């Protein structure tokens, strides 16, 4: 009952006997105050000299009825009506009712629709998220349709929502790429669905901003908003195409086994002391190397060659070599991820014609900011492997689309190799 409900929105209060004369004079469509009860009451919003608005609320079987809702001619009618309706919804929730009904003609139809009323009826949701949504609708900024809020409020809320959605959606790609463990189907589908959902949500919010601008903003501002909206939609599409598509495609390739990338060939020398590892590293390449080492325990040196590949695989090979205290050698060319495997050797050598190629880490769709922490970790790894800090920094400073090929003298000075032989 209203006498037991502890609710308040803004300056809304229950009418008392002293308000009877003012209500009768200002709002003659409302019933006499003397006819109210614990289940039928009038609530009003005070102004400086007189009430700005009033509403009759009646508790019925299973719902709360909003009877006549009236506003003073000199007040902010839409804002007053919205505040009274928000109070009614909070009152319904407080007394355990899950439905609010509007009397015919109590508020304009466009305002009722913007607040979530369909045919004059609205279901009241429970839970913190639902209450937040109800609150936003009461402010006139519903999630999925145009509202009745002032344009500046609409622009603020919808702009923040769109930005946050895009941040979460596209941020999930970084989490999937750098998350622990092997890439699973969830690592692929999760970011894909989040990016699609975030892009769609942001698109809707931008469209709703343009609708609000057309209806409530001055013409020059509305035209500027239309141009900004078009640029924003193009930006969202570009972001999805340039970031989500390549990253998710690469995650799918990793999940599906990297058949196109895994070209590793592993052979053992006739005397069984040298293991030749040549080709690109796919997700299954580490297992190939592990089986060869387990089968040939007499191996003391690993000869590496190849263009690189998956950095995670390279680290696995690095650990195998390091744990077995094997020497590493390059006789031709070893670049990118291949150099990580090379640095696992307890004795590292290169032929006079051999080349090592370095660059900072990369992943399709991810930019330098996304890879900042990863490259910091790479620098720490290089230094921990015995490389000088100066050499390590040069590696990190080399863009991913370039290859830095140090001279033998630079490799020796950077402590990347111990020996250069013929």
Distance of alpha carbon 185 from alpha carbon 164, whole angstroms: 25
HSE (side-chain half, CA atoms, 13 Å) at 22: 19
User: Can you read off the two tokens belonging to residue 54?
Assistant: 């009033």
Q: Rounded CA gap, 345 and 324, in Å? A: 9
Alpha carbons 134 and 143: distance in angstroms, whole number: 10
Can you tell me the distance from the alpha carbon of 342 to that of 296, in angstroms, rounded to the nearest whole number?
A: 19
> How far apart, in whole angstroms, are the C-alpha atoms of residue 274 and residue 164?
54
For residues 326 and 417, give the distance between their C-alpha atoms in angstroms, rounded to a whole number: 14
Other residues' Cβ atoms within 10 Å of the Cβ of residue 149: 25
- How far apart, in whole angstroms, are the C-alpha atoms of residue 345 and residue 252? 32
CB 41 within 8 A of CB 33: no
- Would you give per-residue pLDDT tens digits along the chain (422 residues)? 444 443 444 578 999 999 998 889 888 989 999 888 989 999 999 888 888 899 999 999 889 999 899 988 755 778 888 889 888 988 888 888 889 999 988 888 888 888 888 899 998 876 777 777 777 777 778 888 888 788 889 999 999 999 999 999 999 999 998 887 788 999 999 999 999 999 999 999 999 999 999 888 888 889 999 999 999 999 999 999 999 999 999 999 888 887 777 788 999 999 999 999 999 998 889 999 999 999 999 999 999 999 989 998 999 999 999 999 999 999 999 999 999 999 999 999 999 999 999 999 889 998 888 888 889 999 999 999 999 999 999 999 999 889 999 999 999 999 999 999 87
Distance, first Cα to last Cα, the chain: 95
Question: CA-CA distance, 141 to 148, in Å (whole number)?
Answer: 7
* Residues contacting residue 21 through CB under 8 Å, at least 6 positions apart: none
User: What gap in Å lies between CA 381 and CA 387, rounded to an integer?
Assistant: 9
How many whole angstroms separate alpha carbon 329 and alpha carbon 196?
46
Residue reference for tokens 């509403």 = 55
3-state DSSP assignment of residue 248: helix
Report pLDDT for 3: 42
Show Cβ contacts of residue 400 under 8 Å, excluding neighbours closer than 6 positions: 359, 360, 361, 362
Residue with tokens 């008392």: 16
Q: Which of 321, 311, 418 is nearest to 359 (CA)?
A: 311
The verdict on pTM exceeding 0.95 is no
Q: Which helix (H) or strand (E) holds 421?
A: strand 419-421
Residues 6+ apart with CB under 8 A from 373: 178
């Amino acid at each position: 009952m209203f006498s037991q409900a502890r609710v308040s929105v803004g300056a809304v209060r229950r009418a008392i006997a002293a308000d009877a004369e003012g209500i009768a004079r200002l709002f003659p469509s409302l019933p006499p105050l003397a006819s109210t009860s614990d289940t039928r009451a009038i609530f009003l919003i005070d102004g400086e000299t007189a009430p700005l608005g009033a509403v009759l609320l009646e508790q019925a079987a299973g719902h709360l009825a909003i009877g006549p809702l009236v506003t003073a001619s000199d007040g902010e009618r839409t804002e007053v009506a919205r505040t009274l309706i928000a109070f009614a919804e909070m009152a319904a929730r407080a007394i355990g009712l899950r439905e609010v009904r509007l009397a015919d003609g109590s508020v304009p139809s466009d305002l009722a629709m913007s607040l979530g009323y369909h045919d004059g009826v609205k279901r009241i949701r429970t839970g913190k998220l639902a209450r937040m949504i109800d609150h936003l609708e009461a402010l006139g900024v519903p999630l999925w349709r145009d509202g009745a809020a002032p344009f500046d409020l609409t622009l603020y809320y919808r702009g923040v929502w769109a930005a946050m959605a895009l941040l979460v959606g596209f941020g999930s790609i970084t989490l999937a790429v750098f998350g622990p463990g092997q890439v699973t189907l969830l690592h692929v589908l999760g970011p894909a669905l989040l990016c699609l959902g975030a892009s769609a949500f942001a698109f809707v919010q931008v469209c709703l901003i343009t609708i609000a601008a057309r209806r409530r903003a001055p013409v020059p501002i509305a035209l500027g908003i239309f141009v900004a909206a078009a640029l924003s939609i193009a930006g969202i599409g570009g972001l999805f195409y340039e970031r989500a598509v390549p990253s998710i495609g690469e995650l799918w390739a990793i999940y599906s086994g990297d058949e196109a990338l895994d070209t590793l060939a592993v052979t053992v020398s006739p005397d069984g002391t040298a293991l030749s590892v040549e080709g690109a590293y796919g997700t299954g390449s580490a297992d190939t190397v592990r089986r060869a080492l387990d089968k040939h325990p007499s191996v003391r040196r690993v000869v590496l060659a190849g263009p690189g590949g998956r950095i995670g695989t390279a680290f696995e090979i690095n650990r195998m070599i390091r744990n077995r205290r094997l020497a590493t050698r390059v006789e031709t060319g070893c670049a990118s991820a291949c150099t990580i495997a090379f640095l696992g050797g307890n004795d590292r050598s290169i032929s006079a014609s051999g080349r090592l190629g370095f660059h900072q880490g990369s992943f399709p769709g991810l930019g330098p900011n996304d890879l900042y922490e990863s490259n910091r970790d790479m620098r720490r790894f290089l230094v921990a492997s015995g490389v000088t800090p100066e050499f390590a920094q040069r590696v990190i400073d080399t863009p991913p689309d370039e290859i830095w090929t140090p001279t033998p003298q630079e490799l020796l000075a950077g402590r990347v190799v111990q020996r250069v032989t013929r």
